[in-house]
Chain A
Amino acid sequence: MRNLLGALLGLAAVASTALAQVDPVLPEYRPAQGVFGTLKSVGSDTLNNLMAHWTQEYTKFYPSVKPEIEGKGSSTAPPALIEGQSQFGPMSREMKSSEVDKFEAKFGYKPTPIRTAIDCLAVYVNKDCPLDEISLPQLAKIFSVAGTDMTWGDIGVKDPAYAGKPINLYGRNSASGTYAYFKEVALENNDYKPTVKEQPGSSAVVQAVATDRFGMGYSGIGYRTADVKPLHVRLAEGEEAFPPESDYAYSGEYPIARFLYIYINYDARTGLDPLRAEFIKLVLSKQGQEAVVKDGYIPVTADIVRDDYKSLGMKADF
């Protein structure tokens, strides 16, 4: 299984054309003393491979740490954090106010988000599809009930093999943060069409689009393979379309670029225990961010890392 995972990740890395660079200011991770115990993480599927990478690296430094990672969707992160069943809550969207309220009702303070990576949420089509670009209003019409059932011709594909064919839609299940983020930002909070086939995971969406010539789906850029093509996305009609690449994510021009978070229960009075503090340090270190690049995502910049260190009451000496 691990070999297969490695092969998939390798593919993803090869397929990505412009590999992002890790901010050279970020420090190398150096192990500390007194780290042991069980590392439990419950949350996002988009972040699943990354969490696996980071914990693998972590257990190399601290062999006595036992990792337990579950990635069934971002919506599973807040309840697990609140119930104390996990120390880390990876989420591919921000926590909703109502989720924050529940956390605060129990602990008296808000959960702390750590920005661990940047994802260009990609809209994938089959590699043979002639379409290259799409706009957010078009996506809203295609995926949401705000539009009628669409054919490829409706979004400007002239190729006679495609023009009359309906677009087959693939998406994530409702526990997913990607599902929620896409609904909020691309679909303007409109409901998904009932014809969107809900896939259990990000890689399943990509796989479905890879085998369906008329398929279209959305998933994190880290799940890209050679069999699918991520579209360039424009904010509105008449504006420039940007590819899902690091430059346009950093500039904010790629309209559905987002942070991938790890939420933690940080109490300013007691601070973080070594297990959590060291894991966050590793994630935000040179090694941790190299893993981000290897996974096909985009590393965070040193400025962001400094901010997040501050929100955890940790000193950033770089």
Chain B
Amino acid sequence: MPPSPSRIARQTPRRVYRRDRVAEAVIRAGGGAVLIAVLGICIYLVSVVLPLFNAGALGARTSQTIPDAADVVAAQLDEYNQAILLLGANGDLRAFHIASGAPLGRFRFAAKDQTPSAISPWSRDGRIALGYPDGSIQVGAIRFRSRLRVPDDSERDIPIGGSRPAAGPAEDGWTPVVERVGAEQVRETAPALEFSQPAMLKVGAGAVRRIGAFADDRSEFVVAVREEGPASYSLLRVIKPLGGGPPRLSVSAFPFEIEGQDHRPDWLFVTGDGKHVFALWKSGLCQRYAAANPKDEPIALAEAIQLSEHTLTAATMLLGSRTIVVADEAGSVQAWFAAPDPAAGTPDQQRLVRGHMFTGPGSAVTSIATSWRDRSVLLGDRLGAASLRHVSSEKSILRVPAPTPSPVIATAIAPKNDAIAILHLDGTLLQAAYSPGYPEITLRSLFAPMHYEGQPDAQFVYQSSAGDDAAEAKLSLTPLVFGTLKATVVAMLFACPLAVFAAIYSSEFLAPKLRRKVKPAIEIMASLPPSCSGSSPRWSSHPSHARRSRPCSWPRSYSRS
């Protein structure tokens, strides 16, 4: 059929051109605005994401000189960075006000007038174990306690944000630090000691040579070895009645033999689950004893390996006490933990694996402090430099150049991960605030396989949440990306045939009259972002849009959308 002549001859009215021009202008402006908005979103995303990869930053520092520092083996800061506790190798505990360097008191640990012969590393919440020459041990916590109160008249001259030691010591002998936190509020911070009575070890003879412990609210594991005889592994269960009343304790102790190398290790550790005992020698030897079920299977040597060919200079356990961190003469730092391996050939089918290895601040690391909040370690070296590292991601958070060439003898990370303290042999104490940034995030931790605690090898794992800061956050995005791809592929399997057949049907078989209505409708639907069309069922069923269903919120599956 030839085209109708009237159509060819028709003149387009001017107003149609005008409308066209207006439409074109609107479309151009709209399209440009969309492009600018998308660009803006990109810039915003980059500005949010990039700082994730930054290192930490040092803030204000204070430097003091501490008398008689040479003997100090461990340090602890309080939550508000007002005071520091220093513990000497002979059980001499001293506290100082950081801003002024004023002493806040002193306490000597002793059993029958004898000073401790063994001290465990200071772990989370100030937990520590002490061993004495008479063969007794004592387990407890040394930490700071703070309370808020109304200032009295003599304290009103402290400026807000400032602090000073209180006028005199409290009943327990410690002088609290008084910090003005507001017009009508001061915070009082003082050391608090909670210890069990010294208890005699049932096995061995002579002084306690080494002690290692893990304690939390539910259980306590202590390993100790004396001058002579077998070592002791003891387990204390704390059963807290929720109805009120004092906790009930059940103690059991098991002797075991430490084999080889004069039977007396230089460090002794027990893991947070009580399943492994690690004995370390300065020579670099590490023995692992399996203690998973001491009631039925005696604690026995499971494996012995050489951690380093160099002499070990420091060792401690990371938060959660599953990983040992050791440093050697050559300046390198390693993190080791036990992981299941059916082919290991050990009685408990577990094997010690090295999860991480990195270099310290430079020379041999002489002090390692662990964080109470995450997997950071503060490393101080023989030439006085220090560095802060996150063990899981191996990200370097801070580097602190040596303020003095004197070796670092004690370090501490503040409980809230917002300050560090470094004590040198010559008595120089440096305390510095810092912001950690996002220590667990590196490109590698997000996209590459990571070797996490308790795994035999590096893997892609995403499991970020737990009820305890001691659980290692695993942040691999790779499983999430692949999960999304998988869901997309499966959805396409259904959607593609459906869409193709629907398109063929509507273009070839649908009655023209109906098609004129259906086709534009489909095109408009296609122009809508799928997240809008996909959320329509949510809008119709979500409790906040269906008021009647309150106060019971049932479709919880939307909680993370």
Contacts and interface: CB of A to CB of B under 8 A. Distances in A.
Contacts of B243: 249-252, 301, 303-304
A106 B505 CA distance: 61
B559 A72 contact: yes
Contact of B373 (A45, A49, A73, A101): A101
A257 B243 CA distance: 11
Contacts of A259: 242
Indicate the member of B243, B272, B552 with the most A CB atoms within 10 Å: B243
B218 A189 contact: no
Contacts of B557: 200
B240 interface: yes
Contacts of B181: 108
A118 B242 contact: yes
A185 B218 contact: yes
A55 B551 contact: yes
Interface stretch (A82-90, A126-134, A170-178, A272-280): A170-178
Interface stretch (B162-170, B189-197, B460-468): B460-468
Contact of B273 (A73, A188, A201): A188
Contact of A101 (B218, B416, B548, B556): B416
B467 A184 contact: yes
B148 interface: yes
Interface in B419-474: 454-455, 461, 463-471, 474
Given A2-B552, A55-B551, A200-B557, A96 B241 contact: no
Interface string A269-287: 1000000000000000000
B554 interface: yes
A189 B468 contact: yes
A51 B465 CA distance: 24
A181 B556 CA distance: 19
Interface in A258-309: 258-259, 268-269, 301, 303-304
A268 B243 CA distance: 27
Interface in B238-272: 239-244, 247-248, 272
Contacts of A200: 555-557, 559
B551 A177 contact: no
Contacts of B415: 97
B157 interface: no
A71 interface: yes
Question: For the complex, would chain A's binding face be called helix, strand, loop or mixed by DSSP majority?
Answer: mixed
A273 B272 CA distance: 43
A174 B467 CA distance: 10
B470 A189 contact: yes
A252 B372 contact: no
B372 A97 contact: yes
B244 A1 contact: no
Interface in A143-170: 145-146
A177 B465 contact: no
A96 B469 contact: yes
A56 B551 contact: yes
A202 B78 CA distance: 39
Contact of A69 (B272, B553, B559): B553
Interface string B528-561: 0000000000000000000011111111110110
A301 B465 CA distance: 32
A37 to B, nearest CB: 16
A174 B465 contact: yes
A34 interface: no
A94 B216 CA distance: 14
Contacts of A51: 551
B335 to A, nearest CB: 17
A227 B373 CA distance: 42
Contacts of A94: 467
Contacts of A189: 272, 320, 466, 468, 470-471
Contacts of A2: 552
B523 interface: no
A252 B468 contact: no
Nearest to B470: A189
Interface residues of A, number: 64
Nearest to A183: B466
B78 to A, nearest CB: 13
A216 B148 CA distance: 47
A218 to B, nearest CB: 13
Nearest to A179: B465
B154 interface: no
A35 interface: no
Given A200-B559, A238-B295, A257-B242, A72 B553 contact: yes
B425 to A, nearest CB: 32
Contacts of A1: 548-549, 552, 554
Contacts of B239: 251-253
Contacts of A75: 465
A139 interface: no
A192 B463 contact: yes
A98 interface: yes
Contacts of B548: 1
A16 interface: no
A180 B465 contact: yes
B293 interface: yes
A268 B150 CA distance: 10
Contacts of A32: none
A252 B182 contact: no
Contacts of B416: 101
B556 A251 contact: no
Given A101-B416, A235-B237, A251-B241, A174 B556 contact: no
A201 B242 contact: no
Contacts of A258: 242
Contacts of A97: 372-373, 415, 469
B218 A67 contact: no
B68 interface: no
Contacts of B184: 269
Contacts of B474: 191
Nearest to B271: A188
B340 interface: yes
A112 interface: no
Given A190-B454, A268-B148, A181 B467 contact: yes
Contacts of A191: 461, 463, 474
Nearest to B293: A237
A245 interface: no
Contacts of A304: 243-244
Contacts of A76: 559
11 contacts: A94-B467, A97-B373, A175-B560, A177-B467, A180-B467, A201-B554, A238-B296, A251-B239, A257-B242, A258-B242, A268-B148
9 tightest Cβ-Cβ pairs between the two chains A and B: A250-B243, A180-B467, A72-B559, A303-B244, A200-B556, A184-B467, A200-B557, A174-B465, A252-B241
Given A251-B241, A269-B182, 18 more contacts: A1-B548, A1-B552, A69-B551, A94-B467, A108-B182, A145-B454, A173-B556, A175-B560, A180-B466, A184-B468, A184-B471, A185-B218, A190-B454, A191-B463, A192-B463, A250-B243, A253-B239, A304-B244
